[in-house]
Amino acid sequence: MEAQQKIIFHVDVNSAFLSWEAVRRLKEDQAAIDLREIPAAIGGDRAKRRGVILAKSIPAKRFGIRTGEPVVDALRKCPELYLTGADFKLYTQYSRALLQILSGYTPEVEQTSIDEAFLNMTGTKRLWGEPVEAARRIQEEVSTKLGFTVNIGISVNRLLAKMASDFEKPNRVHTLFPEEISQKMWPLPVSELFFVGRATTEKLHQLGIHTIGELARADVGMLRSHLKKQGEAIWLCANGQDASVLSYEQEESKGIGNSTTIAFDVTDEGTAKLVLMSLTETVGARLRREHRKTEGLSVTIRNQEFQTSSHQMVLEHATNITQELYQSACRLFDELWDGSPIRLLGVTANRLAGENEARQLELFETVDYEKMERLDKAMDAIRSRYGSNAVKRASFLTEERIDAMPGKQQDR
């Protein structure tokens, strides 16, 4: 009997925070301006011109306004930008309502953030029709009952479904099946591929690789020589395969991690990243003590509603240097955090390697990694002899609520 093709949906709310605020205002006053139809954004303080943009409307996007950029920069691009504050209680209510609808189509719903979820729709054809028809049913129910729109990507795995949902917006259904990859995905800039950040994009450009198709057709050995394990991972992604970096299952190999439940709600990026620094301090120290390095890192966030989400990546080089771990953790945090108040943060080193795993240096490398390693080992020695708080980074001296070396490290 022929195996049934797997069908995965990725559901992504269009301009979630802004859409949910717009829906609330329209419910309260049908004559209110729909924030989705004007240059508008969520986040920050217009009067004080501070904070960052958490969500923006499509008209605001046309001005070049980006999620995560400072409010002052957004107002410079569009002085007439309508700006309003965040309401995370409202967002949680709409997120739960969305999940309730999605759960009516399949019991296998995996929420990955407050406004995104994967659905395993394999074997539901007799219930809901062909995949595109089923997706449109979902869109219609969400729009009718909740008042906002979603994009839905359809494919045979998470990577391709997520790529598809990010095509033209809003309120669209896109497929990206393996036979469509060459037409729909390969012409895109390589920077559009998930887990290809700015630094990796620059390296790929130096190698003459500018599109996802060029990456897919590149020699994987050459990519490994320049980008190590990440090179192979993104090559798999470019060819439509879920690399291990995208896996939502626990890896077989053990990892070293640490997490902390915070005594207060963390609502600002600076405090959250100070907690990440404390966690990477302990994870890095444990790696060095066990003579290990890590080729992968993950960050976990749990909000005040006890919703948990995580994100992981393959590192460009195996490392146990605290500063490198911290920088990667911050990058993951920036991609993952939806602005909800944080109650728990966690950092885990996975894909463990030996301490002697070689680092391939760039021709014009300016970072003194040996100096960074010596500094870490010196701090380890002091803490081992005089206690974990015998030496701490200056940033912790003014924030007494956060332990510089928190919690108990865990094997995973």
Domain ranges of the chain: 189-246, 256-411
The residue ranking higher by pLDDT, 391 or 256, is 256
Tens-place pLDDT, residues 287-334: 988 888 898 899 999 877 667 788 888 887 889 998 889 999 998 898
Mean pLDDT of 143-147: 96
Structure tokens at 412: 């995973």
- Note the pLDDT of residue 367: 62
Helices (H), 48-157: 58-61, 71-77, 88-103, 125-128, 131-146
Catalytic residue status for 130? no
Query: pLDDT tier at 340 (50, 70, 90 boundaries)?
Result: confident
Q: Is 244 a residue whose pLDDT tops 50?
A: no
Strand 40-42 relative to strand 410-411: parallel, antiparallel, unpaired? unpaired
- Note the pLDDT of residue 379: 78
Out of 21, 116, 281, 316, the active site residue is 116
For residue 14, how many C-alpha atoms fall within 13 Å in the half-sphere facing its CB?
Answer: 27
Give the predicted TM-score (pTM) of the model: 0.63
Q: Percent of the chain at pLDDT above 90?
A: 41
Q: Is 112 a residue whose pLDDT tops 90?
A: no
Please state, in angstroms and rounded to a whole number, the distance separating the CA atoms of residues 261 and 406: 10
Beta bridge partners of 119: 9, 109
Please state, in angstroms and rounded to a whole number, the distance separating the CA atoms of residues 325 and 277: 9
* Sign of the alpha-carbon torsion through 392, 395, 399, 402: negative
Mean pLDDT of 277-295: 89
Structure tokens at 264: 């207060």
- Note the pLDDT of residue 291: 86
Q: Count Cβ atoms below 10 Å from residue 329 Cβ, excluding itself.
A: 26
Mean pLDDT of 66-76: 84
Any idea what the Cα angle at residue 406 is, between residues 265 and 383, rounded to 5°? 150
Q: Which amino acid is at 1?
A: M
Conformation bin of residue 5: beta by default, left when phi > 0, alpha when psi is -120 to 50: beta
Query: pLDDT tier at 362 (50, 70, 90 boundaries)?
Result: very low
Q: Is 141 a residue whose pLDDT tops 50?
A: yes
Angle between helices 322-336 and 369-386 (to 10 degrees): 100
Pick the CATH number of 189-246 from 1.10.150.20, 3.40.190.10, 2.40.160.10, 1.10.10.60: 1.10.150.20
Q: Which amino acid is at 271?
A: T
Query: pLDDT tier at 347 (50, 70, 90 boundaries)?
Result: very high
- DSSP tag of 190: G
- Note the pLDDT of residue 67: 78
Which CATH number applies to 256-411?
Answer: 3.30.1490.100
Q: Which residues of 41-60 are buried (b: 16+ CB within 10 A; e: fewer)?
A: bbbbebeeeebbbbbbbebb
- Note the pLDDT of residue 309: 83
Burial class (CB in 10 A: 0-12, 13-18, 19+), 150: buried
- Note the pLDDT of residue 99: 92
Q: Are 161 and 153 in contact (CB under 8 A)?
A: yes
Q: Percent of the chain at pLDDT above 70?
A: 83
Burial class (CB in 10 A: 0-12, 13-18, 19+), 311: buried
- Note the pLDDT of residue 50: 57
Burial class (CB in 10 A: 0-12, 13-18, 19+), 337: buried
- Note the pLDDT of residue 399: 53
Q: Are 130 and 152 in contact (CB under 8 A)?
A: no
Mean pLDDT of 21-50: 85
Mean pLDDT of 198-210: 89
The residue ranking higher by pLDDT, 365 or 150, is 150
* Nearest partner of 20 among 104, 136, 109, 142, judged by Cα: 142
Least confident of 5-19, 180-194, 365-379, 385-399: 385-399
The residue ranking higher by pLDDT, 355 or 147, is 147
Q: Is 391 a residue whose pLDDT tops 70?
A: no
Q: Is 193 a residue whose pLDDT tops 60?
A: yes
Q: What mean pLDDT is reported for the chain?
A: 83
Q: Is 398 a residue whose pLDDT tops 70?
A: no
